[in-house]
Amino acid sequence: MEQYTLTILPQGLKIRAFEDQSVLNALRDAGLRAEAPCGGAGTCGKCIILVDGREMLSCQTLVDGDMTVTLPGGERA
Protein backbone atom coordinates (compact mmCIF):
# COMPACT_ATOMS: atom_id res chain seq x y z
CA MET A 1 0.00 0.00 0.00
CA GLU A 2 1.37 3.36 -1.04
CA GLN A 3 2.11 6.13 1.44
CA TYR A 4 1.73 9.81 0.64
CA THR A 5 2.47 13.12 2.31
CA LEU A 6 -0.29 15.48 3.40
CA THR A 7 0.84 19.05 4.01
CA ILE A 8 -1.43 20.54 6.67
CA LEU A 9 -1.98 24.30 6.57
CA PRO A 10 -1.78 26.78 8.14
CA GLN A 11 0.68 24.95 10.43
CA GLY A 12 2.82 23.63 7.61
CA LEU A 13 2.88 20.16 9.17
CA LYS A 14 3.67 17.17 7.01
CA ILE A 15 1.99 13.89 7.89
CA ARG A 16 2.01 10.47 6.27
CA ALA A 17 -1.17 8.86 4.99
CA PHE A 18 -1.94 5.59 3.28
CA GLU A 19 -3.53 5.33 -0.14
CA ASP A 20 -7.34 5.04 0.09
CA GLN A 21 -7.35 6.17 3.75
CA SER A 22 -9.81 8.97 4.45
CA VAL A 23 -8.25 12.35 5.13
CA LEU A 24 -10.26 12.41 8.38
CA ASN A 25 -8.59 9.22 9.61
CA ALA A 26 -5.16 10.41 8.48
CA LEU A 27 -5.62 13.63 10.48
CA ARG A 28 -6.77 11.73 13.55
CA ASP A 29 -3.92 9.21 13.25
CA ALA A 30 -1.51 12.16 13.27
CA GLY A 31 -3.08 13.50 16.49
CA LEU A 32 -4.88 16.41 14.89
CA ARG A 33 -8.35 17.31 16.05
CA ALA A 34 -10.91 16.71 13.32
CA GLU A 35 -14.58 17.30 14.00
CA ALA A 36 -16.98 14.72 12.58
CA PRO A 37 -20.09 14.33 14.77
CA CYS A 38 -21.70 11.97 12.23
CA GLY A 39 -18.86 9.51 12.72
CA GLY A 40 -17.58 9.92 9.19
CA ALA A 41 -20.85 9.16 7.40
CA GLY A 42 -20.68 12.39 5.40
CA THR A 43 -24.05 13.64 6.63
CA CYS A 44 -23.23 16.46 9.06
CA GLY A 45 -20.87 18.58 6.93
CA LYS A 46 -18.76 19.53 9.96
CA CYS A 47 -15.48 18.14 8.59
CA ILE A 48 -15.15 20.55 5.66
CA ILE A 49 -11.55 21.16 4.65
CA LEU A 50 -9.78 22.54 1.61
CA VAL A 51 -7.86 19.96 -0.42
CA ASP A 52 -5.62 21.53 -3.01
CA GLY A 53 -7.92 24.58 -2.92
CA ARG A 54 -11.21 22.68 -3.26
CA GLU A 55 -13.80 22.43 -0.47
CA MET A 56 -14.37 18.81 0.51
CA LEU A 57 -15.50 16.63 3.42
CA SER A 58 -12.47 15.04 5.09
CA CYS A 59 -14.45 11.88 5.91
CA GLN A 60 -15.37 11.32 2.26
CA THR A 61 -12.05 12.30 0.69
CA LEU A 62 -9.64 9.43 0.10
CA VAL A 63 -5.91 9.91 -0.12
CA ASP A 64 -4.76 9.21 -3.66
CA GLY A 65 -1.52 11.17 -3.74
CA ASP A 66 0.35 13.97 -2.02
CA MET A 67 -2.15 16.64 -0.94
CA THR A 68 -2.25 20.09 0.61
CA VAL A 69 -4.99 20.20 3.27
CA THR A 70 -6.15 23.47 4.84
CA LEU A 71 -7.98 23.08 8.15
CA PRO A 72 -10.72 25.55 9.10
CA GLY A 73 -9.59 28.03 11.71
CA GLY A 74 -6.17 26.40 11.90
CA GLU A 75 -7.50 23.52 14.03
CA ARG A 76 -4.91 21.54 15.87
CA ALA A 77 -4.71 18.83 18.49
**14 — alpha (psi -120 to 50), left (phi > 0) or beta?**
beta
User: How many CA atoms within 13 Å lie on the side-chain side of 60?
Assistant: 14
Residues 5-34, mean pLDDT to the nearest whole number = 95
Question: What is each CA distance from 12 to 17, 43, 73, in whole angstroms?
Answer: 16, 29, 14
The model's pLDDT over 25-35, given as tens digits with 9 standing for 90+, comes to 999 999 998 88
The model's pLDDT over 49-64, given as tens digits with 9 standing for 90+, comes to 999 889 999 999 999 9
Give the predicted TM-score (pTM) of the model: 0.89
Judged by DSSP in three states, 66 sits in coil
The predicted structure's pLDDT at residue 52:
83
Residues 34-49, mean pLDDT to the nearest whole number = 91
